[in-house]
Structure 1
Amino acid sequence: MSQLQLEQVRKSFMNGEVEEEVLKGVNLTLNKGEVTALIGSSGSGKSTILSIAASLQPLSKGRIIFDHQNLVELKPEQIRKIRAQQYGFVFQQSHLVPFLTVEEQLSLMLDIAEVKGSKYDKQNEIKNVLEKVEMTHRQSAYPASLSGGEKQRIAVARAIIHRPKVLFADEPTASLDSKKSNDIMQLIQELTHSLEMMTLIVTHEEEMLEYTDRVVKMSDGEIIMVN
C-alpha cells in the first residue's frame, strides 16, 4: 500500500536568541484512498506539519518517507519534481491566474507536471477532470466571472488533473459559506476515494470532519489524539 510517513519530525525556529520547538517528534502516516484531517487550536503545529509533509519547508530533525525514499536526503531539484508530479495542492484561496481561462489553467498544470501526450490527449484530460468537478460549462471562463465555490472547484481540478498520489489541502473551505464548504469537502472526499489519493487536510471547522476518514488532533506541537 502506498504511504507517506513522517517519522519523529521536529521543527525549531529561532526567536531572537531563544530556540523554540514547534514540532516535537511527530509521527504520522497517510494511507492510499484516505482523507486525514489535522485539527487543533491556532499555533498547535497543524499547518507546519502539512507544509513539512509537502516539502514546502525543511524539518529540523526526522524523516519523510515517500515511495520508499527519505525525502530529506534528496536534492532540491528532485523535491521540486516530486511536488510538481506527485503532489496536488488546494489552499484557502484558489490562487487562479487571473488572465487565464479555466481550460488554460488546467493545461498549464499539465505542462508544469510534464504530463506527456498530444494536444488531443490533454484536451481529453481537461474535459474529464472538469466533468469530475461538474464545471464543464465554465471551461472558457476567466476567474473574475467565477463564484467563490466555482473557483475552489477549479482549484481542486487543477490539483488533481495530473493524477497526484498525495493531495494537500490547507483550510480549503475557510472562505466559503456552509453550503459551498460541504460541496467542496464532499468533492475532495469522493475524489480521494475514487482516485485512491492520500489526502491531508488542515481544518478548524468541525462540521467538515464528517467527510474525512481519520482525524488527527494536535496540541503544542504534538499529536494528542487519532480517531
Structure 2
Amino acid sequence: MAIFMIDKVKKSFANGDVEEQVLKGINLSLDEGEITALVGPSGSGKSTLLTIAAGLQRASDGHVYFNGKNMTNMSQEQIRQIRASEFGFVFQSSHLVPFLTVEEQLMLMLTISDTKIKKQEQKVEVTKILKLVEMDHRRDSYPSSLSGGEKQRVAIARAIIHQPKMLFADEPTASLDSKRSKDVMKLIQDLTKRLNITTLMVTHDEEMLTYSDRVITMKDGLIV
C-alpha cells in the first residue's frame, strides 16, 4: 500500500539570469515497509528529490502526498510537525551531539520530537531501540569513543526512536568502509521490515543496492 506519493514534481533554481531546472516532473510512489534507493550521477537531482520528499524544501511545481495528505498545501508549521512526528533522518555524517552520551542522544530526540511515546515509557523504549541496533552496551559512551560504524548505528537509533513512518537516508554509508557499510545497510533493512518503516535512500554505492526492494535511477532531473 502506497504511503507516499510524488506527483509531477519539478524544481528550479535561479542561476544568475538563467533558471536551472533540477527536477523535470517526477512521479514516484513508495509502499509501506519498502526500501527504495535513488541512484544516478552527481547533479541528476537525487538529493533535491529527497529533500523535497522530506519537507526540507518545497517543489516549484507538483504535489507531495504523505499518508493521503497533500504536503504541498501545508504551512511550514504543519510540515514541521510531520517531520517531527512521522519522519526520521540519517545522513552521511552521524551529527551526534559531542557532549551527550548515546542514551542522552535518544532521550533528546524524544524531547524535541512530537512523539506518541508516554514520558514514563521513554526509558524503556530507548533500551529497546539500543538493543535492536546492538548498542545497549555503549549507552553511557560519548561519541568520541565510538567507531564510525557505531556512530551510524546510534544515528539510526536516534532516527527511529520516535517511531516514524518514513526514514530518509542520504548517503548513509558514504563515510564507512565496506564491512561497516554492509553492517549499517543490513541494520536499515532489518529495521525497515521489522518496524514497517518506509525508507527512501540516496546512494552512490552499488553494493548497497542489494539491500533495497527497488532501485530508481535518475539522470538530468528525470527518472530513467
Calculate the TM-score normalised by the size of structure 1: 0.97
Q: List structure 1 runs of 4+ shifted beyond 6 angstroms.
A: none
User: Could you list the per-position Cα deviations for residues 34-70 of structure 1 after superposition, in whole angstroms to 9, with x for gaps in the alignment?
Assistant: 1000000000000111010001111100000112111
Give the length in aligned residue pairs: 223
How many angstroms does 1:158 deviate by? 0.2
Separation of aligned partners in 2, 1:16 and 1:171: 29
> SS of the counterpart of 2:24?
strand
Match of 2:128 in 1: 128
Match of 1:71 in 2: 71
Match of 1:118 in 2: 119
Spell out the pairing of 1:52-131 with structure 2 (5 A cutoff): 52-115=52-115, 116-119=117-120, 121-131=121-131
Q: Aligned-residue CA RMSD in angstroms?
A: 0.8
How many angstroms does 1:4 deviate by? 0.6
Which residue identity is paired with 1:4? F
How many angstroms does 1:2 deviate by? 4.7
User: Could you list the per-position Cα deviations for residues 58-89 of structure 1 after superposition, in whole angstroms to 9, with x for gaps in the alignment?
Assistant: 11000001121110101111100100110000
Separation of aligned partners in 2, 1:133 and 1:66: 27
Separation of aligned partners in 2, 1:104 and 1:2: 34
Separation of aligned partners in 2, 1:27 and 1:114: 29
State yes or no: 1:188 paired with 2:212: no
Which residue identity is paired with 2:68? H
Larger displacement relative to structure 2 (1-10 or 45-54): 1-10
Match of 2:31 in 1: 31
> SS of the counterpart of 1:216?
strand
Percent identity, aligned pairs only, is 61
How many angstroms does 1:114 deviate by? 3.0
Gapped regions of structure 2 (runs ≥ 5): none
> SS of the counterpart of 2:99?
coil
> SS of the counterpart of 1:140?
coil
Which residue identity is paired with 2:73? E
State yes or no: 1:145 paired with 2:145: yes
